[in-house]
Structure 1
Amino acid sequence: MPAKKLIWLFFEHQKNVYVNDFPKKKGAASQRMNKFKEPLKQIRTNYELYLLILPTVIYFIIFKYWPMYGVQIAFKDFIASKGFWGSPWVGMEHFQRFFDSFNFWTVIQNTLGLSVFSLVVSFPVPILIALMLNQLLHERYKRFIQTVIYAPYFISTVVLVGMLYVFLSPGSGLINHIVQLFGGEPIYFLSKAEWFKSLYVFSGVWQETGFASVIYLAALAGIDPHLHEAAVVDGATKWHRIWHIDIPGIQPTILILFILAIGNLMNVGFEKAFLMQNDLNVSSSEIIATYVYKIGLQRAEYSFSAAVGLFNSLINFVLLLSVNRIVKKINGSGLF
């Protein structure tokens, strides 16, 4: 075949390819534009809902995301007079100092021990309470029980710790009076390191369990009542209905709240731990939150305390991603 004819066929082929592909490229561009326009259309259609959520978004931007700008002081020797940009960089020096400090393992063990203990004890209790309340048929009695178990949630942490001091006082506390009635000696609960974790966790269960059960009650209310009616017709007992209808019905809610709880595993509440802490129980009560407070505010070592706080947040972030991925592989659905 002559060379000219080969060249002519080549260019004809290229022209056909270009002409055939052009509409596809145009279609792809059109699809991209539609993807961009679709969210705007949704916003215009449901603008009332977006206006309702706008204050929350603004709150998170101002008080959660904007302060992240200050995380850089964890890598600097922060001097207030020089500001963020004027303070000298020190790299990972503060992190290394924390890892090498005498208190590192004590603080990590106390924080993990307290948070894991709290998770194991407090996480299943609201589920059990919600399942039991869901079985109550007498509305007045049900509302009374709900009011009683919800009320402690609205007690401030300061008042709660004050109640612990009153009830557990070795001289005039109700608990020690009961101990003495049975022939025992007064126990200095708040002065003994071995009692700190139990007091912290079980007081938290008493205070927060009732309110935490509201989410599970809402999930139970979304279960189709016809499922229970059909189960009753088939002769299923209450236990069978709870096990085969209620628990599977609230399983997605349980998994999401479990993932969120793991994401906050290292965020043990500062207020109660700090108020319950004293020189006699500090070996068990010194957690990351109280350690950061003492280093950052009392000693004014802002960069070091920021490094410790950032380390804590990174651990929580890794735990959240890991647990979410595991749950997603096992159950097929996760938080994201």
Structure 2
Amino acid sequence: MKSSRLVSILLLLQTRGRMTAAQLAEELEVSVRTVYRDVEALSAAGVPLYGDAGHAGGYRLLAGYRTRLTGLTRDEAEALFLAGAPGPAADLGLGPVLAAAQLKVRAALPPELRTHADRVSGRFHLDAPGWYADAEESPYLPAVAEGVWNSRVLHVRYRRWAEPTDVDRRLEPYGLVLKAGRWYVVAGPGPRTFRVDQILQLTNSGDEFTRPDNFDLAAYWTAYQRDFHDRLYREEALVRLAPGVTLARAVQTEPADEDGWTRATVPIESIDHAQAEFLRLGTAIEVLAPPELRKRIARIVSELAGRYGDRS
């Protein structure tokens, strides 16, 4: 654990420059006293690390010093190459950059770690989009990415679901998110979320904006997804499920009966959506409520029985 923390301190100083003991302690989730001991251990090991006193002080590495990543574990090296997604990188115009970065990291790895990283990259390939979804055309993705990188205001013509469908928007792009093969841009003011493939026109104004210092893209996206599902599934259905059948978000309300069937409440988006989803389960589900949904499924089943009945 300590050796991993020492490498983390070294890499933090290498990538961020001068940092105080308090900043390092917050980043590593340890005490300031622990940071002091770790810094002493690094210095004793010959790492050219210096401390400056005063309000603007902190720890820093000797200019030009670089580690060769020998602190990487086997699992970390494998994860690094597994996380390199060539498809999304190419979408952003970073395909050659990703390849070059992986080449440099590979060259810096010790031989034993290099072997494991090569095995991972040769045996695992990440392909995020689903089988039956057509690739979304996002011709303005590179321009949106450029706005994100350089904090540039974008003026877009955007197509939404509600009327009026085509609207003009001024975006301050904070970050890009790739979800299930589809790109989203999170932008201020707000912030709000926009599908990049729904941008019809785009103009880079050249004006800079100030990205909020406390904005956390990952935290925002997690909260956005949670809120999206809360807004999406506003109704509930009461169902009986056959033994071994499970549904996402279903909550069992009673113990299983003597035949192994269970009752559960299931959040649903709408009657129409639930009808299609539940019919896929065939005889492994019985809808008890709401009454309208039960009547619809009963009518469809009756029509199917009449259509497929014995015609001999």
TM-score (norm: length of structure 1): 0.19
- Hey, which of these two has a bigger chunk of helix by percent? 1
TM-score (norm: length of structure 2): 0.20
User: Based on CA coordinates, which of the two structures has the bigger radius of gyration?
Assistant: 1
Task: Report 1 or 2 for greater relative contact order, CA contacts < 8 Å, sequence distance ≥ 6.
Answer: 1
- Hey, which of these two has a bigger chunk of strand by percent? 2
